[in-house]
Amino acid sequence: MKLAMSIPASQGWLLAVLGRLRKNFLLKSVGTSAFMVLFFIAYGYILKNPLHPFSVMPATAIDRLVPFSPIALPIYASLWLYVSLPPALIESRSSLIAYGMAAAAMCLAGLISFLIWPTAVPPADIDWALYPGFGILKSVDLTGNACPSLHAASAVFSCVWLDRQLRELGGNPLSRYLNALWCAAIVYSTIATRQHVALDALAGIALGVVAAILSRPFVSPVPR
């Protein structure tokens, strides 16, 4: 009897997710893609045209505790899938616009910081030729514009939104734990890939939390 009752509940959760994915699908797809393209254009321009010399961020005890890990690269790259989930699950157009504005404000804050105070990670004692998978990554950001880590900020911002959406959809606690674990893994990967130091990640976490808090008034309350 209990099994029979659990099946419709799980099906209902899946149908609710699919229903949200279908709403404003074209707007979400085009909007998310355009947002990423515009961000990378602005990021690349600021990276190649700094107003001041780059300041090297100091390593801390945390950086010494977290070893370099090549297998962290797929986790680092998974951010682009992760940040696509919250907008894909947004139900109303007004909430979608609020999400976009909050995400844009967060990225703009990071880009302004990079412009005013260009930062870089300290050189890593690693032969990158031994890790060809890192070639594209190193060619994109050149380990510059390090603090705050927008990778960490975007992960935390997405985690907060996704947690709220999972509660709205009636997701079980495991789905919320997995969401938090994915976010934590991405933040960890920023240090394990030597793209950032711990101070970059902490600053990014703070930025992501602030952006998520400021966007909260524009989201309808979670039904109880």
Please give the pLDDT value at position 40: 86
- Specify the pLDDT at position 193: 92
Distance CA 19, CA 90 (A): 10
CA distances from 73 to 78, 92, 113, 135 (A): 9, 34, 25, 11
Contact 195, 142 (CB under 8 A): no
Is residue 223 in some structural domain? no
Residue 181 lies in a domain: yes
Report which of 3, 27, 155, 149 is spatially closest to residue 88, judged by C-alpha positions: 27
Domain annotation covers residue 35: yes
Cα four-point dihedral sign 134, 130, 143, 206: positive
- 224 located within any domain: no
Structure confidence at residue 53 (pLDDT): 87
Chain centre to alpha carbon of residue 68:
21
Question: Does 80 fall in a domain?
Answer: yes
Per-residue pLDDT of the chain (224 residues; tens, 9 = 90+): 444 444 455 566 777 777 788 888 788 888 888 988 998 899 888 888 888 888 899 999 999 999 999 999 999 999 999 999 999 999 888 888 889 999 999 999 999 999 999 999 988 888 777 888 777 776 665 566 789 999 999 999 999 999 999 888 887 788 899 999 999 999 999 999 999 999 999 999 999 999 998 887 555 444 43
Q: Output the six-digit token pair for 54.
A: 């780059």
- State residue 180's pLDDT score: 96
pLDDT of residue 205: 97
Structural domain range at position 59: 2-218
How far is CA 106 from each of CA 17, 68, 177, 190, rounded to the nearest angstrom? 27, 28, 25, 18
Q: Would you say residue 26 lies in a domain?
A: yes
Name the domain count of the chain. 1
pLDDT at residue 223, rounded to an integer: 43
